[in-house]
Structure 1
Amino acid sequence: MLEELHVKNVGGITTASLRFKGNFIAITGESGTGKSSLVRALELLAGKRAQVNYLRVGKATGEVEGAFLADNIPSLPEELQPQEGTWVVRRVITSEGRSKSYIQGHVVPLNVLSRAMTHFMHIQSQFSQLDLLDENNQLDLLDSYGGAELMKKKIFMSNIFHRAVEMERKIQDLYQKRKDIEERYNGALELIQLLKSLNPSPSSEYEWENELRMVKDALNRREELEHILAVLEGGMAAGGLEGELQSIAMRLKSLLGSNEKIDQASQRALIALQELIRQIREILATEASPEDLQHRQEELESKLGRLRKCKRIARVSTVEELAEYYSTAEREMSWLSESLAEIEVMREKLNKLKKDVSQHALDLRSSRVKIARQLEEAVNSHLKDLGMEAARLTINIEEMKKVRANGAEVVTFMIETNDSSPVPVSRIASGGELSRILLALQMALPEGTLPKLLVVDEVEAGLGGKAALLVGLKLKELSTKCQIILITHEATIASLADQHFRVTKEGEESYVRELSDDERVQEIARMLSGTSEIKEALMHAERLLGLREK
């Protein structure tokens, strides 16, 4: 519970210190005196994001500090936990729109404070009944009535649902990966077979190209040598240079007769030519045959052609890049062949998870139906106490075709009367009726689901007379489960409080002061009649205050 509240430069308040006693505290005051400034201060304490207009005009900083009686705050580390039962929270806001949050004197991010306050402190304005119109809130309200057992089922349902969703996502990711690999390595199987047959090294392309040039050069040289040899020797169609030389020697002999010098020169020329022919033949005999050279040329051209085809398939420019592609492609193609079995195993798991999700969704719905009947009974009992005897809450649970993390049903709170069939609470025009339904729901909820501190800001709007008194009595009863700070204009409700503060305004400054018993009589009289001078109003106020003791 909140024991102390200190406010500085927030709204119309320059400084205020409130020390709370009891569980039901009323804060009253005429319209425009600054009660909303206290609400803003409590909102800051609850972790709401600060706004510049929260700060008192002309001031550079504002501050709110609250001292709570508490034992343990979930989700907080040890250094932020209460010490000797006291938990101190502080907010500082500036005219630049910045703010700082403190817990136990330590600076903390705002979301840490807000998260810690989620189940510790709740501010309920006159518009909070609009929360009833949200189907998600109605589902959460129903589930909170189910207590720990239903929460355990709900958490288990959420966990198994998200496991199924995650498994389905993984399967889709695998299919997408398969598609990407198939597109990226289109033709990779052919490439892998080609590369296995080629078995290239990083230098193979250069070596093969160099060898191919040498083979072509060798073929060209051999063709030239054979052509020269044919010129020298002649062939079947024509005589060669050797035959011509022999013929010339014979003609010279015929023309000149026996001429030793000519005969010797002719003989030397013929012997030299025959030696040249012999040496050319020896050279040709030592080199590879034309058939072998042509075969090797074809072999090298085929290898280079296949290698270049591989580079085109892989879309690379070097053998090194091709080798890297080959290694990756082989690995990825191997994964492709294995992934189908992996996907099949995952599909079997997914089908089992889906069956489990459906089964747990049915179990959760069955529990909700049972709890809904119990909540209806509890709320309707409180509605009678709140003067709504003709109204009955019914909770409609409609099955959905699609399962969600929180189940497979839509929960709708319905109200039926003696004169009408059930209609959703969203169709109820009266804010006063919605306020009482919300209060009846709060009364029905287990104590552990309620916040430690409930700040109620003018929820009696739209109520009056007996209805307001009944709401006050229920709030008094609710204060046995949690501390209630009530900002109200309704005298009958304020009279039931354990402690009473009044907000007044002098000039532009608001003041907050705890009222004594006599001052409470005067304040209640003012709230009843607009002035504390009327004797009948004072007597009525005394009677109302006397109800506290009954």
Structure 2
Amino acid sequence: MIESIQIKESPVFEHLQIDLHTGLNVFSGASGSGKSVFMESLLAIFGIKDSNAKSLQAILSNLKVDLEDYDLQNEEEIILSITKKDKTRYNLQGNFIAKKTLQELLSPVIKHISLKNATELLSENILNTFDNLIKNQDPSYQDSLLLMQENYKSLKEVKQQYQALLEKEKNIQDLKDLATFEIKQITNINPKLGEYEELIALKKTLSKKEKIQEKIQNALQAFEHLDNIQTALDALEIDLPHFYDSIYEAKGILEDQENKILSLDEINPEELLQRLSDLALLNQRYGSIESAINHLHIQEQKLKDYENISFNKEKLLKQQDVLSNKCHLIAKDITAYREKFLPLFLEKLQTLCTTLKLQTIQIILQESILNSTGTQEIQLKLHNTPIQNLSTGEYNRLRLAIMCLNSDFNHNTGILVLDEIDANLSGEESEGVAKILKKLSSSYQIFAISHQPHLPALADTHYLVYKEGQKSQIKILDTSGKIQEIARMISGSNITQEALDFAKKRLGL
């Protein structure tokens, strides 16, 4: 709810600070006092209207919104401010946010009844209200709806997979040619992990082959003079027990390396360089030999999938048939529930419409394409008049009826802002609107402008908007103030005793 609002330098409010209350809040006052200007400021808080003041601030509480989704901290109280200088800035909990973000954040909890902008009267929302009524009467209906949603979701996914295969099939030959080319390119080279590094090392060895071979031969010649070393050691009476072990180990290593170098004579340098060039090409194209081998496996699998595309299409079509049949069977159960409870839905909605002085309502259930709620759509008519042809007054009163019925089952909470909802209505119509809004006020914090006495008489809080010099003020009326204001609304500025008596009677005094 909105706990309070502060308005500075708007067209009619120099500085206004007012606490707001739960339930039905009604604003009245003489024409031109600033009621609509206040409502515009109120709607600006939610990003529905542009700010008409240089500064707006509101304290909100108990809103069912998750600020963490917008990188903000969840708290019981939300402080929202709007400043307007060269441009309008929105600040939530001390953080600047975009107007669009503000709208997205608060749209689930705010409803504005003005022109024909209602989502409540869309077929899917009316059907949802009907389904909520059925679930309230028979909880097992919820199982059918959930089962329908799950199977329809699976059906939708299978259809998407099938469409993706059809798209692939359009370009299948090009895709197969590309996969075949890349597979052939990699398999022709047939790379091995670590091979490139080994060949680089071998190339370096080949480049130094003659120098290494010469040094090995010189070293091996030195072994021919080992006897001289031993003779000298004996003369000195020095015993080196491990000397010959190390010497012969070194000789063995040198001879082994000499044989390996001699074996390099069998290597064709041109073939080695060509092999290195081929491997370098794979490195350049795929990043590494390992990546090239992985890509080979991927392309081989893709080629296999391309070859199996007809089989996969047939498999998906069978899955579609199974799921579609299952969905239609569940839809039949849902239809049976709806047909059973349609008279009750009609009765409850007609009761509300009668209160609102609307004509006889018609509810039409008709077949539609399969969707997540079954195979039906719903239409409302007032005495054979489709919704889109209703007057604005009828349209918004019907909207209130749907909201009221839905709140009985959904326990919705939020904020409801109405422009002059009872303007151009007869006394009976206005009284009906007042009764429905009073009922809705148990779920919503409601703000409404009224020019007739019925809404103020049922209001939880009645605010008077009045001129004080050139600027306007708003105050909460006590019982005496309510009597005076309702009497003024009935008889005009010259308040009669009859109007005062009527006001007292409407207030139950």
TM-score with structure 1 setting the length: 0.62
Q: Name the CA shift for 1:469/1:94 in 2 (closer, same or farther; >3 Å).
A: same
Match of 1:377 in 2: 347
Q: Name the CA shift for 1:532/1:65 in 2 (closer, same or farther; >3 Å).
A: farther
User: Take 1:97 and 1:182, find their aligned partners in 2: how far apart are those partners?
Assistant: 57
% identity of equivalent residues: 22
Counting only pairs closer than 5 Å after superposition, residues 111-510 of structure 1 correspond to structure 2 as 113-125=102-114, 127-128=115-116, 134-146=122-134, 154=145, 157-185=148-176, 332-387=302-357, 391-400=359-368, 402-416=369-383, 422-429=384-391, 431-447=392-408, 448-506=410-468, 509-510=471-472
Return the offset for 1:348: 2.8
Q: What letter is aligned with 2:167?
A: Q
Q: Structure 1 stretch 448-457 or stretch 180-189: which is displaced more?
A: 180-189
Q: What letter is aligned with 2:157?
A: E
Q: Name the CA shift for 1:194/1:94 in 2 (closer, same or farther; >3 Å).
A: closer
User: Take 2:390 and 2:112, find their aligned partners in 1: how far apart are those partners?
Assistant: 23
8 Å contact kept, 2:490–2:499: yes
User: Take 1:396 and 1:129, find their aligned partners in 2: how far apart are those partners?
Assistant: 22
Q: Root-mean-square deviation (CA), in Å?
A: 4.0
Return the offset for 1:191: 12
Return the offset for 1:34: 1.7
User: Take 2:299 and 2:334, find their aligned partners in 1: how far apart are those partners?
Assistant: 49
Match of 2:474 in 1: 512
User: Take 1:520 and 1:75, find their aligned partners in 2: how far apart are those partners?
Assistant: 39
8 Å contact kept, 2:45–2:56: no
SS for the counterpart of 1:38 is: helix
Q: Name the CA shift for 1:380/1:345 in 2 (closer, same or farther; >3 Å).
A: same
User: Take 1:415 and 1:545, find their aligned partners in 2: how far apart are those partners?
Assistant: 33
Q: What letter is aligned with 1:408?
A: T
8 Å contact kept, 1:55–1:95: no
Q: Structure 1 stretch 372-381 or stretch 177-186: which is displaced more?
A: 177-186
Return the offset for 1:27: 0.5
Match of 1:256 in 2: none
Q: Name the CA shift for 1:366/1:15 in 2 (closer, same or farther; >3 Å).
A: farther
User: Take 1:185 and 1:121, find their aligned partners in 2: how far apart are those partners?
Assistant: 55
Q: Name the CA shift for 1:534/1:190 in 2 (closer, same or farther; >3 Å).
A: closer
Return the offset for 1:155: 5.8
SS for the counterpart of 1:445 is: helix
SS for the counterpart of 1:453 is: strand
Q: What letter is aligned with 1:139?
A: L
Q: Name the CA shift for 1:180/1:502 in 2 (closer, same or farther; >3 Å).
A: same
User: Take 1:187 and 1:67, find their aligned partners in 2: how far apart are those partners?
Assistant: 60
Q: Name the CA shift for 1:523/1:76 in 2 (closer, same or farther; >3 Å).
A: same
User: Take 2:18 and 2:131, find their aligned partners in 1: how far apart are those partners?
Assistant: 36
8 Å contact kept, 2:45–2:82: no
Q: Structure 1 stretch 483-492 or stretch 157-166: which is displaced more?
A: 157-166
SS for the counterpart of 1:483 is: strand
Q: Name the CA shift for 1:192/1:18 in 2 (closer, same or farther; >3 Å).
A: closer
Q: How many equivalent residue pairs?
A: 406
User: Take 2:152 and 2:386, find their aligned partners in 1: how far apart are those partners?
Assistant: 29
SS for the counterpart of 1:531 is: coil
8 Å contact kept, 1:63–1:92: yes
Match of 1:9 in 2: 9
Q: What letter is aligned with 1:491?
A: P
Return the offset for 1:11: 4.6
Q: Note the alpha carbon deviations across 1:163-187, whole angstroms, 9 max, x for none.
A: 3233222223234334424135459
Match of 1:297 in 2: none
User: Take 2:106 and 2:182, find their aligned partners in 1: how far apart are those partners?
Assistant: 64
Match of 1:63 in 2: 56
Q: Name the CA shift for 1:152/1:456 in 2 (closer, same or farther; >3 Å).
A: farther
SS for the counterpart of 1:446 is: helix
User: Take 1:194 and 1:73, find their aligned partners in 2: how far apart are those partners?
Assistant: 60
Return the offset for 1:503: 1.3
Q: Note the alpha carbon deviations across 1:89-141, whole angstroms, 9 max, x for none.
A: 413142444332414x455555554444344332223x358656643443344
8 Å contact kept, 1:7–1:17: yes
Q: Name the CA shift for 1:370/1:452 in 2 (closer, same or farther; >3 Å).
A: farther
Q: Name the CA shift for 1:367/1:17 in 2 (closer, same or farther; >3 Å).
A: farther
Which one has a bigger Cα radius of gyration? 1
Match of 2:35 in 1: 35
User: Take 2:5 and 2:190, find their aligned partners in 1: how far apart are those partners?
Assistant: 81
User: Take 1:171 and 1:44, find their aligned partners in 2: how far apart are those partners?
Assistant: 47
Return the offset for 1:62: 2.0
Q: Name the CA shift for 1:111/1:188 in 2 (closer, same or farther; >3 Å).
A: closer
User: Take 1:101 and 1:445, find their aligned partners in 2: how far apart are those partners?
Assistant: 33
Which consecutive residues of structure 1, in runs of 5 or more, have no partner in the other structure?
203-316, 417-421
User: Take 2:458 and 2:182, find their aligned partners in 1: how far apart are those partners?
Assistant: 89
TM-score with structure 2 setting the length: 0.67
Q: Note the alpha carbon deviations across 1:219-254, whole angstroms, 9 max, x for none.
A: xxxxxxxxxxxxxxxxxxxxxxxxxxxxxxxxxxxx
User: Take 1:187 and 1:118, find their aligned partners in 2: how far apart are those partners?
Assistant: 50
8 Å contact kept, 2:3–2:58: no
User: Take 1:464 and 1:123, find their aligned partners in 2: how far apart are those partners?
Assistant: 22
Which consecutive residues of structure 2, in runs of 5 or more, have no partner in the other structure?
192-280, 286-291
- Select the residue among 68, 84, 95 that pairs with 1:94: 84
User: Take 1:513 and 1:102, find their aligned partners in 2: how far apart are those partners?
Assistant: 27
Return the offset for 1:74: 4.6
SS for the counterpart of 2:80 is: strand
Q: What letter is aligned with 1:2?
A: I
Q: Name the CA shift for 1:9/1:409 in 2 (closer, same or farther; >3 Å).
A: farther
Return the offset for 1:162: 3.8
8 Å contact kept, 1:491–1:528: yes
Matched, 1:522 2:484: yes
